[in-house]
Amino acid sequence: MENEVNGRLTREMRSFHALTMVNIAGAGIAMSMGIATLVNNLLPMFREQTILFLHALNVVAVLAGSVFALRWLISSAEMLDGFQDVRESREDDDPTALIVENLAFYRENREEMRRLILGSRATGAFFLVSAALQLKFLVSQTGSSLFSLMSVVGMALCLALGLAGVYIPSSLGRYTSTWEERLSESEETERRLGELLEGGA
């Protein structure tokens, strides 16, 4: 029984670790794309020595998106840091203590975890679209075999990351439903205990 509980906790932790890593990757990609777009829109204005309306509008939009991506990256990193503390508690190898640690972590970060799930799906969709575009380019292009090989590798990598980004939230959903049940039971227990203490007073 203890081994079964430890195995489940290990799978829960692996799923959440994968979720945070996908979000960190997604936020990093969003920031890099934002920087590239920012440079592409600033250069024409520097060359013309004037403000070009469409380019300036793109710069404002990119800056706003970059702020969002930076907050996404920081929050993902903070979640990963907090999760590392929970993982380190596994050294105690006490299933009850680990369940309490996981429950407390989920209770504290419930809303943030939901945002990470959305971020993972968005990242997965981005990589899947990238894989589809690379496949389309690969079918249409007639370049060298080396270039074709690099395109195949890139497409396979995007496909793998895309599937992971979409699958991980679904896999984690099984565990979050369990955490919700545990949390509801815990809150109900706290409520009853409060009522007993109030009655005793």
Walk along the chain (201 residues) and give the pLDDT tens digit of each residue.
Answer: 556 666 777 777 788 888 888 888 888 888 888 888 888 888 888 888 887 788 888 888 888 888 888 888 888 888 888 877 777 765 555 666 777 777 777 778 778 888 888 888 888 898 888 888 888 877 777 656 666 777 788 888 888 888 988 888 887 777 777 777 766 766 666 666 666 666 655
For position 85, what pLDDT does the model report? 75
| pTM for the structure as a whole | 0.73
CA distance 118 to 122: 6
Q: Which domain holds residue 73?
A: 2-200
Cα–Cα distance for residue pair 169/57, rounded to 1 Å = 35
- For 160, residues 6+ apart whose C-beta sits below 8 A from its C-beta are none
Is the Cα dihedral 140, 141, 142, 148 positive or negative? negative
* Number of domain units in the chain: 1
